[in-house]
Chain A
Amino acid sequence: MKRRNLLKNAFFWLLGASLSWPLFAFVQKKRYRPPREQRISKNLKCGEFVVEPEFVLFETGNGPVAISRTCTHLGCRINYLEDKKIFLCPCHQSRFSQQGKYISGPAKKDLGTYKVAKMEDGQGFIVYLPA
């Protein structure tokens, strides 16, 4: 390779390498997002539930419980089957109890739960979701 070409190549490689760190830093940075609050403006009796995209809210004898609909295997959105009282993942068929406890399938871990509070006026619930 001629010296001129070598210098030209070295220049472009150096230029690319020096820009790679600012690019990597920019792309990798996670912007801050505040935690979210989801309001359910509905009163539930004991045994009733509400299905939301991210969770299922149950009113139990011991208070409201929000079970996450994110499968602990690979993150698919699981469905609550009311007739069987189980959660079922449609991707790889992991099963969980109504309380979110692992029953079978490749997931192996229990479903997550979210913090729930009753609204001050008593007319519904607030579910606290992560950012």
Chain B
Amino acid sequence: MKEITYGQIALTCLLLSLVTGFVVGYQYEVSAPFISTTAIEATLPFGWFWRSLHFWTSQGFVIFLCLHSFDTWQGMNIGQGKRLKIHWTIITITIPLGILALFSGYVLRFDGTGQAAGAIAEHLLLAVPWIGKALNRLFMAIGSEGLNRLYVVHILAGILCWALGTWYHTRTVRINFASFGLTTLFFIVFCMFIRAPIDLPLSHLHLIHGPWFFLGIQELLRHFSPLIAGILFPVIPVVTVAALPWIKRKESAYLILLMWTFAYAGVTLVGILRTG
């Protein structure tokens, strides 16, 4: 059997996520986001299955993309050759792009968690000095435009991940049958038993737990300003990973990444354990 790599699994997840995204998009209404999401989940034939497949393959894409980055860095000497360095720096954009697609997906279902996540993200963007207003108009603007812009951004982020991951990164879609078949089969079986989450109205009077990857930031926002907790802190690992090939003393970069990971895991744990 040919080797199954994290990269191939990530790409399979991305393709499945894109295809299922278009499927659920046929019944999703941006003007009635929560109602149409609950209709997909509860009343439309196989809606729960397509939604679950879209949700879990999207999670799978981001998780396997991170594993793929880690794996690639360990196995290759990217520190050599200017062309390879530039390639690494550009391709790391897919990580924040993937997280943006994932995050916007949470907001688009517009349940309690989605509404709160959208409001917080909008205020975080507005907290960016000088360009905050422009960034908000470009990516969110939920307060003035509803979910229209975020829906465009959601689709665009997924497509950009695909374009960068295939056209730019590998030039052609190199994915073997075993990787594609087994990953698809796993997610189909998994989604037949595990549904995608959705909050019921009034289910979070006292405490909303944000998306799993956002819990740490949510916790930090209780104690620090939006600029520090919501912008500067999350930007640290993205910039460090993108700059890795260009940094001469790599040990200090590894130390920053390690410390950041431990710190984020710690505050995430506090966020998980918080009860009110």
Q: Which residues of A contact B (CB under 8 A)?
A: 24, 27-28, 30, 33, 70-71, 73-77, 79, 81, 88, 90-93, 105-106, 131
CA A79 – CA B276 in complex, angstroms?
14
**How many pairs, one residue from A and one from B, have CB atoms within 8 Å of each other in the complex?**
62
* Contact (Cβ within 8 A) A90 B205: yes
Residue interface mask B140-170, A partner, CB < 8 A = 1: 0001100000000000000000000000000
* Contact (Cβ within 8 A) B116 A76: yes
* Contact (Cβ within 8 A) A88 B221: no
Residue interface mask B197-210, A partner, CB < 8 A = 1: 00000001111101
Tell me what chain B mostly uses at the interface: helix, strand, loop, or mixed.
Answer: helix
Q: Shortest Cβ distance from B64 into chain A, in angstroms?
A: 30
Closest B residue to A80 by beta carbon equals B205
Q: Which residues of B contact A (CB under 8 A)?
A: 112, 115-116, 119-120, 122-124, 134, 137-138, 143-144, 204-208, 210, 218, 221-223, 226, 276
A131 CB contacts on chain B under 8 angstroms: 144
Closest A residue to B127 by beta carbon equals A74
B207 CB contacts on chain A under 8 angstroms: 90, 93
A75 CB contacts on chain B under 8 angstroms: 119-120, 122-123, 143
A28 CB contacts on chain B under 8 angstroms: 134, 137-138
CA A81 – CA B222 in complex, angstroms?
21
CA A131 – CA B146 in complex, angstroms?
12
Interface centre among A33, A75, A79 (most CB of B within 10 A): A75
B208 CB contacts on chain A under 8 angstroms: 76, 90-91
Q: Shortest Cβ distance from B242 into chain A, in angstroms?
A: 22
Task: Please give 12 more A-B residue pairs, beta carbons under 8 A apart, in addition to A90-B204, A91-B210, A91-B221.
Answer: A70-B119, A74-B119, A74-B124, A76-B120, A77-B119, A88-B206, A90-B112, A90-B116, A90-B205, A91-B208, A91-B218, A106-B223
